[in-house]
Structure 1
């Protein structure tokens, strides 16, 4: 299933079929203004934006003869206003994320730009934000040592912080607001295609959903790159229908190659950096959805060896077939220039990225989103057309076999937030199979993510689901463990107090359960639909 921009813009002439763009801001006023201008055009044509601000020097640093900078926050705030002003084909407003290195002098203020308290002139309430964590920082967290904040201009030390305190502040901010996203920068760059790494290309940012890890900024030819995300997802719930067809993955990648070429051919002059990047690396993002639905259809709990086995089998096979398809398409259509320059036969620099699929999962019959566990076994599906109560079809089938498929049973499930753990007539294994996202031990999400990471050349939109009363130490260790396992990025931290998943513009479905009936304090996530 293609991503939303392909479905809404493909063949219409109204917009472009690209989900997201990634760019970097140079450390100059001219570069900042050029990035603003580019972002306006990109957002207006249907794409979300992920912008790296780590090159721009921090507040109070010298500029010109006698001046001092006001830092990145005022410039980020302008980007916030521009994003809010841009409409994408009247379907949804523009969405953007800003990324910053953990070593940047303004990192502590940057963590709080989405909090409504404090100086309103130094807030960006409509932007998403992410932080790039290095191995050096995580080692400092491990050892409890200090960590230097350095100028991106000259590398000089501007401040010193306690690494653990900063890490704790980062995680606590995620608990309060769901963000910032986390990208483990060194892990990502080690996994870059060798033919890109060898010429000095570097990943310095991600997109709105933290699954795209492509190089941006100045390349080996002195030209600026704005990376492009071209996405589609395979439905794992239907695994048995397509996994035996050796041409299936190749056909999907052939389709994505055609979509990417359509963008290259039709990109406007204002998108020259993005067109150039797409033409050079031809990266695409083949993802999945329906993993939890697949497991539930077979009575397999998310937490266990069988889920672990299926997870590795699926992604190993998809990755191998994607590699074969890239080579076959390179023979037919030519290798991408980045690969060809290094003598590598590859049509795509990168092939896989596991994007969130909340919207297209609904189109695919309500299968589970992405690689995530389901949020509830019954929830209210809200659209502009109305609201409907949606039941888990596999649970409904199980209840029918036990003659328990009654309104009373479903109402009891709804009252307990979509949980079945109170149903005495279910076996322990059945209860485990139908655990919801907040009931599953989050260490299993990390373990499954780590197992599939070697087979995904980009990253995964990996959400964590945390009860409101989580112990601080457990939460910190969960994030630290993600780095230890070699996971590349973390998306939202969803807690019970901010459980309701809202969608940008309120256009598409709200997949959350009806929070009024389960009496939870709700706070909306403002998600971008581009990857979904």
Structure 2
């Protein structure tokens, strides 16, 4: 140790460094060593190894920032599956740099929170509602800040947090504390600080993850906090352009939007009494596509729009081709995310290899008086059979296809581009607690959140958080679930909806989505796998119960959502609009559901939809856990960022390596069964990606030459529908041992 230190000091003699404030002093090795030792504290890393890497990079005139960046690069280079903790060293060094930059810029780091609030309110950077708190209350809140919590991030998380979420001259704990105080600002004055502390502790300790719109927009004036929106176009110009305008306003604020176009007349339909005048749905999708590009969230990223079309629409073949390279470029839309709205009758005909008929909604509406887009379940089947009986008489614009062959065409598109998403309309609407008020037309951008939509009147609007299972102990589950529900209910009263139909929906349904991330970590810590379905079911039974009970308790305190009367909830039906006897048969602890059913009938629930599981692709990096409820793609890999290659690994890889099953080699039927198991306890949806490895022998160790076939993928999709999954998000493939992504990346409205 002594020899190494002497060598290091000899090699750096006579070097002067330039500090962040511009001053110059001789290099002091002891200061570098102090930072290195702090960054390596309590980790399985040797600080001497980092010093040895750094010494060849020092030179006269080097800046302290360059030294810090060099230390970070050295730590990243030392990171490996055998020594994964170096990514935490790099993360701490990045945070140290943030601390020092803030010190130089504003003159202090932590410790003067009230002063920070005052300055940022005056500059218009903080919402003035934070001024509800007195200077004395802000001093109490300042005492809660624990700077050590900043040292919990690995490099990927630290960079994502500082570059995407923090304001200028703002430190992480200040951002979390300000969010907590604002969320609690709708509480009664005597309770605000109490709830602020609970909110801050859960957020700062990374037990609850705020969705991107909340964490990014809550602190700034007039921010929109909702993550997910769904609108629907009526078949007229006024509605079409209103939807395009609404999509622009959603994208401006960082939300993701689903737009259903199933009412729009098909190509070749009538316009102003003239047949063959309609251009169909694709021209309107192209306008949405260009809007998503133009309204780019202040230059941060393009807008995010999923366009959905029911599986019976005449324009479906062109809808599937609008992202291919062949054909008329004027009818292409490469920057939207296509989604198929699939009903049970189609899937039954797929299973039977029967014929399916594509029709024009305008002709059906005009000649038969049926608005086909509104129908699902038996009502749809009855009308659809009537339509098929009217072919060539009342219905002249149609096309017959083989249902199974058509699904295979969909699968080909999915393998090429990852899309279209599949949203199972009947499954989702059967679970809709608000059937008395309408229907759900399609899914949102990330395929986990939806509720009733009425063109021009109500647009689905939902706020999201996620519970980080990696950082949650059993005895904390109930309290964290209650805290998560209260956070989201409060944000409904704090947000500024981007348009009237969104505001109407927010007030009427009070839709929220408590999700989960880090299931792979939760399993690994307990030496469980994705085959342990009963343990997974027990976990999500608890979460589903606690979140629903929390909304009931809020209804006692604040009242039920306005259209609760007549809902499935009001009938005593619970999660997924299921009768209470289902829970008697399937729950691990059925007696609590019986009581909850009675309590809800008596007191109501505060929120019409309560739970939904988002993909959490980027926010899981900040949370230091695996994304959503899916396995890790790989236990350890490098991701290419603008700053270079960044190591990505789950948090417990060093101690529980072999209990992290890798998705790239996992039979996707197992994933479907896990999602179906979880879905029983989640009242809205779950973002389910499927990842198929196309290399030989991966799934068939006894037959090393055998590859996955189209039949295997077909069976997996059919299984998802049969087991009650509500949606299939992206289809990914692995080829030649590499991760082949579609040409789109998930911009995830929740992330």
Smaller-chain TM-score bracket: 0.7 to 0.9
Q: CA deviation at 1:341?
A: 6.4
Matched, 1:396 2:654: yes
Which residue does 2:727 correspond to in 1? 489
Gaps of 5+ in 1: 400-429, 498-514
- What aligned pairs does 1:224-235 form with structure 2 within 5 A after superposition? 224-235=457-468
Aligned partner of 1:160 among 397, 400, 405: 400
Q: TM-score, normalised by structure 2?
A: 0.60
Which residue does 1:506 correspond to in 2? none
| Counterparts in 2 of 1:291 and 1:150: CA distance versus 1, 3 Å | same
Which residue does 1:132 correspond to in 2? 341
Higher RCO (CA-CA < 8 Å; seq separation 6+): 1
Which residue does 2:494 correspond to in 1? 262
Aligned partner of 1:358 among 617, 623, 636: 617
Which residue does 2:33 correspond to in 1? none
Q: CA deviation at 1:65?
A: 2.3
Q: CA deviation at 1:93?
A: 2.0
Aligned partner of 2:664 among 432, 435, 438: 438
Q: CA deviation at 1:131?
A: 0.1
Matched, 1:249 2:474: no
Cα displacement string for residues 145-171 of structure 1 (whole angstroms, at most 9, x for unaligned residues): 101112222425412111011111111
- What aligned pairs does 1:180-329 form with structure 2 within 5 A after superposition? 180-193=420-433, 196-199=434-437, 201-218=438-455, 224-240=457-473, 243-244=475-476, 246-263=478-495, 266-268=496-498, 271-302=499-530, 304=531, 307-329=532-554
Q: CA deviation at 1:522?
A: 5.6
Secondary structure of 2:309's counterpart equals strand
Secondary structure of 1:389's counterpart equals strand
- Say whether the 8 Å CA contact 1:463–1:491 is kept in structure 2: yes
Q: CA deviation at 1:370?
A: 0.3
| Counterparts in 2 of 1:393 and 1:336: CA distance versus 1, 3 Å | closer
Task: Return the alpha-carbon distance in structure 2 between the equivalents of residues 339 and 489 of structure 1.
Answer: 26
Moved more, 471-480 or 112-121: 112-121
Which residue does 1:150 correspond to in 2? 359
- Say whether the 8 Å CA contact 2:441–2:453 is kept in structure 1: yes
Task: Return the alpha-carbon distance in structure 2 between the equivalents of residues 337 and 389 of structure 1.
Answer: 48
Higher fraction of helix: 2
Secondary structure of 1:525's counterpart equals coil
Secondary structure of 2:405's counterpart equals helix
Which residue does 2:632 correspond to in 1? 374
Q: CA deviation at 1:245?
A: 5.1
Q: CA deviation at 1:360?
A: 1.4
Cα displacement string for residues 88-116 of structure 1 (whole angstroms, at most 9, x for unaligned residues): 14332211110000100011111122222
Gaps of 5+ in 2: 1-208, 365-386, 388-394, 571-600, 695-706
- Say whether the 8 Å CA contact 2:448–2:687 is kept in structure 1: yes
Cα displacement string for residues 342-376 of structure 1 (whole angstroms, at most 9, x for unaligned residues): 666111000011101111111112x1100111011
When the two chains are superposed, the root-mean-square deviation of aligned CA atoms in Å is 1.9
Matched, 1:118 2:327: yes
Q: CA deviation at 1:64?
A: 0.9
Q: CA deviation at 1:300?
A: 1.8
Task: Return the alpha-carbon distance in structure 2 between the equivalents of residues 72 and 187 of structure 1.
Answer: 25
Secondary structure of 2:472's counterpart equals helix
Cα displacement string for residues 297-332 of structure 1 (whole angstroms, at most 9, x for unaligned residues): 222222x2xx21221011111111111111111111
- Say whether the 8 Å CA contact 1:111–1:170 is kept in structure 2: yes
| Counterparts in 2 of 1:31 and 1:520: CA distance versus 1, 3 Å | closer
Task: Return the alpha-carbon distance in structure 2 between the equivalents of residues 64 and 521 of structure 1.
Answer: 47
- Say whether the 8 Å CA contact 1:141–1:163 is kept in structure 2: yes
- Say whether the 8 Å CA contact 1:236–1:290 is kept in structure 2: yes
Moved more, 443-452 or 245-254: 245-254
Which residue does 2:744 correspond to in 1? 525
Q: CA deviation at 1:444?
A: 0.8
Moved more, 470-479 or 335-344: 335-344
Larger-Rg structure = 2
Secondary structure of 1:198's counterpart equals helix
- What aligned pairs does 1:501-516 form with structure 2 within 5 A after superposition? none
Q: CA deviation at 1:247?
A: 2.9
Matched, 1:75 2:284: yes
Cα displacement string for residues 497-520 of structure 1 (whole angstroms, at most 9, x for unaligned residues): 4xxxxxxxxxxxxxxxxx9xx666
| Counterparts in 2 of 1:394 and 1:145: CA distance versus 1, 3 Å | same
- Say whether the 8 Å CA contact 1:86–1:94 is kept in structure 2: yes
Cα displacement string for residues 34-82 of structure 1 (whole angstroms, at most 9, x for unaligned residues): 1111111121122111000001011001121225211010111111011
Which residue does 2:687 correspond to in 1? 461
Task: Return the alpha-carbon distance in structure 2 between the equivalents of residues 275 and 522 of structure 1.
Answer: 36
Q: CA deviation at 1:397?
A: 2.8
Residues matched between the structures, number? 465
Secondary structure of 2:665's counterpart equals coil
Q: TM-score, normalised by structure 1?
A: 0.84
Aligned partner of 1:347 among 584, 594, 606: 606
Secondary structure of 2:663's counterpart equals coil
